[in-house]
Structure 1
Amino acid sequence: ATNFEGGSFDVVWAVESVCHAEDKQDFINEAFRILKPGGRLILADFFATKEQFNEEEQKLMHDWVSGWSVKALAFTPQFHQGLERAGFEGIDYQNATENVRRSAKELYQYSVLVKAGGKMLTEGRSDRQEGNVRAVHCQYPALERGLWSYGIFLAHKP
Structure 2
Amino acid sequence: MANKSSKTLARTNLATLNRTHLTTLSIHLIFILYRLLFLRGSVYKYVLLVLPSLLIEAYLDRLGRPGYGANGDLLRPGEDLAAQGVTEYLWDIVYATWIVLGLVGLLGEWAWWVALVVPAYAAYLAWGLYKGFVGGGMPGMPKVEEQPAQGASKRQQKVEARGGQKVRYR
The question of a shared fold, defined as TM-score above 0.5 by the shorter chain, is answered with: no
Higher gyration radius (CA): 2
Could you state the TM-score of these two structures normalised by the residue count of structure 2? 0.22
**Relative contact order higher in (CA < 8 Å, ≥ 6 apart):** 1
Bigger proportion of residues as helix: 2
